[in-house]
Amino acid sequence: MFQPPYPPGLPIGPDWVATPSTTPVRFPYDASEVAQAPVGTVELARRAIDEAVAVKKAAATLSSRARRQILTTAADAITARREEFEELLVAETGKPLVDCRVEVARTIVTLQASAEEVARLHGETVPLDLLPSGDGMIGYWTRRPIGVVVGIAGFNYPLLLASHKIAPAVAAGCPVVCKPAPATPLATLWLVDVFRKAAVDAGAPAALVQLVTGDVEVGSALVTDRRIGAVSFTGSSAVGHQIARDAAPTKTLLELGSNAAMVVAADADLDAAVDAALRGGFYASGQACISVQRLVVQESVAAEFAAKLADRLGEVVTGDPRDEKTRVSALIDARSTRRVLDWVDAAVSAGARVVSGGGVDGGVIRPTVLADVPSGVSCWDDEIFGPVVCLRQVSTVEEAFEVVNDSRYGLNASVFTRSLATAHQAIEELEVGAVVVNEVPGFRSDTMPYGGVKDSGSGREGPRFAIEELTVTRMAVIRPS
């Protein structure tokens, strides 16, 4: 059992508040109990917003020095206990240890980079004398905090996704209320505790960072409160669209689902492409928005690519996520596992064939490669969020790009090629938020402007870009007397 290093209850206002009930958090691999987690209510959500509004002015007037100190102190605290965070993430998400190590490392980078961006948060002067009426006048603009931020994170990367909400908000001078996914609240609670202690050490109110757990009603109470300045959400497209409707006209930043494609051109390094498909298709057990789902391969090399992929699929070790060798483990819950298996069965019934893998071993879906998956089935059209990749042949690179774009999603995509012309063509033509050349589409630096188009969302994450999203410009126009 995990023994929380933070107080019981929820971090609301200056203290931790008791909740009416708790619920078990279970280890997805064997369903054993990890810990009891507090369950929030609509009333507690409203109280958290009240507290955030009460400290909004104090947050907005925090010095750059204080905001940077909070972020660096939090980064140092997580670094000092990174192995404990890694173990907790394995326990509550069921993700393999190797992926949880990456999550903690990326969280630390996010906090450090956000601290650095505090010094770059400034405006600039504006020439007003382009019109005669502006002669002799002075103009400049500054960036001001947008106000209270509500951050809602998905279950698959609970620590990292929460840091993508909290760190930019603190850097911008905004109070933030975070809501983790019901299945994975523990690491986020610890993260918030770290931030609150860092805030108090820097002379800021603890209520600068708060957290409320709970169901859809709790989330609705948070995003529909007209006193908030912005909602930042990471999760499914359907939920993101509902949040945008409910929150309007409040600003919403949406990092939603995907159906990431990887194009393998005829001139590609096939061994490198196969390696990328293995790494990109199955990390986090496939529960990542930019894991490889669609492999679009030119037909002249498709047979060789498929053979190489099948030969190496055994390298993707399945089993206990606590084992350093494991790459695929149990999904977050039994319902998710059943859904993925049903989607695979439906694809096969529609004409797809299983190249390798398939089925379940000890509750873990075997890494699966499907070929000839038609459009119109979920395995090809939707986000599978499991260890399944789909292979399709095309005649030309141009056809491959058309296939990639024929999707309601547009987060990341990649192309493997030795041709600089093909690489630039991909960058110009692919309708996605990021094009990655000769790497997995899931390659991501937490300092890049991350986000998608179409049903993959709106707005951008990454410290510099998210901080700007959580500010508004204020223009100053002065006519000296």
- Provide the annotated active-site residues: 255, 289
CA 313 to chain centre: 27
At CA 177, angle to CA 251 and CA 209, rounded to 5?
A: 125
Six-digit token pair at 128? 């007003």
R_g over Cα of the chain:
23
CA distance 370 to 336: 19
DSSP structure class, residue 8: S
DSSP structure class, residue 373: P
Furthest-apart CA pair in the chain: how many Å? 80
Neighbours of 88 (CB within 10 A): 25
- Closest residue by Cα to residue 452 from 473, 437, 431: 431
- Closest residue by Cα to residue 234 from 212, 214, 262, 258: 258
Burial class (CB in 10 A: 0-12, 13-18, 19+), 197: middle
DSSP structure class, residue 96: -
Which whole-number Å values give the CA distances from 163 to 67, 119, 195, 356, 420, in the listed order? 15, 19, 10, 37, 36
Backbone dihedral angles phi then psi of residue 337, each to the nearest 5 degrees: -60, -45
CA 458 to chain centre: 13
Q: Which parts of 233-360 fold into alpha helices (H)?
A: 237-247, 270-282, 299-312, 334-349
CA distance 443 to 58: 38
**CA quadruple 339, 341, 346, 352: dihedral sign:** positive
Tell me the CB-side half-sphere exposure of residue 234, using CA atoms within 13 A: 27
For strand 360-361 and strand 230-234, is the pairing parallel, antiparallel, or unpaired? unpaired
CA distance 476 to 481: 15
